């Protein structure tokens, strides 16, 4: 099955393919900010996380496009990307077209992903337009993200040692 997202109209082609592979893609991530030449802005989110990032002297910037932001984390081998929901800010990023594909790349590169509770690769896709919050980063960054949201982290619970380089 091939699913192509263009605006809010999905095009789906179904064919019998040996091996059962499916492909879904958004042809131009960040198209809503394309005309601004990917200008840099400020990250807003959970106060506790932002205070931690400021205290630890993180650079709090983003391009407005998830692909370039996550690419920078992979290329520089450090950093964290978060897109967090709140009562006044609903989930924007789509699991099938954006969150899971980049989660796959991040995890294959040795990083971690989370929706606050689990790896984004473990989330079940119910509808083509399912949306979720997400964080990508090192093991320690994802532990911090999950603990800030829930008071605990599945990665600590697994009993896996957490080193300074994780």
Instruction: Give the pLDDT score at 66.
Output: 82
Strand order of the β-sheet with 2-6 is 9-13, 2-6, 23-25
Instruction: Give the pLDDT score at 158.
Output: 60
Q: Are strands 80-83 and 134-137 parallel, antiparallel or unpaired?
A: antiparallel
∠52-53-56 over CA atoms, to 5°?
85
Rounded distance between C-alpha atoms, residue 87 and residue 129, angstroms: 20
Q: What is the CATH number of domain 29-157?
A: 3.40.190.80
Closest CA to 142 of 71, 44, 49: 49
Rounded distance between C-alpha atoms, residue 20 and residue 9, angstroms: 24
Q: Which residue has the tokens 């337009």?
A: 129
Q: Are strands 23-25 and 9-13 parallel, antiparallel or unpaired?
A: unpaired
SS3 content of the chain, % helix, strand, coil (to 5): 35, 20, 45
Tokens of residue 93, six digits: 């990023």
Rounded distance between C-alpha atoms, residue 43 and residue 64, angstroms: 9
Rounded distance between C-alpha atoms, residue 42 and residue 53, angstroms: 12
Instruction: Give the pLDDT score at 75.
Output: 86
Instruction: Give the pLDDT score at 120.
Output: 95
- pLDDT tens, residue order, the chain (166 aa): 444 444 455 555 555 556 555 555 444 444 455 455 554 443 445 777 777 887 888 876 667 778 888 888 888 888 899 888 888 889 989 999 889 999 999 999 999 999 999 999 999 999 989 999 999 999 999 999 999 998 999 998 665 554 434 4
Tokens of residue 41, six digits: 């802005």
Domain definitions of the chain by residue range = 29-157
């Amino acid at each position: 099955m091939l699913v192509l997202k263009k605006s809010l109209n999905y095009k789906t082609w179904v064919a019998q393919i040996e091996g059962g592979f499916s492909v879904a893609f958004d042809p131009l991530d960040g198209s809503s900010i394309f005309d601004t030449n990917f200008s840099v802005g400020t990250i807003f989110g959970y106060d506790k996380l932002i205070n931690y990032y400021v205290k630890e002297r993180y650079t709090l910037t983003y391009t407005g496009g998830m692909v370039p932001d996550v690419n920078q984390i992979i290329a520089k081998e450090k950093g964290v990307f978060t897109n967090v929901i709140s009562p006044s800010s609903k989930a924007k990023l789509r699991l099938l077209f954006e969150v899971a594909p980049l989660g796959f790349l991040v995890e294959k590169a040795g990083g971690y992903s989370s929706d606050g509770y689990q790896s984004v690769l473990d989330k079940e896709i119910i509808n083509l337009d399912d949306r979720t919050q997400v964080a990508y980063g090192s093991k320690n960054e994802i532990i911090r993200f999950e603990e800030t949201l829930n008071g605990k982290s599945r990665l600590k619970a697994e009993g896996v040692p957490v080193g300074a380089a994780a």
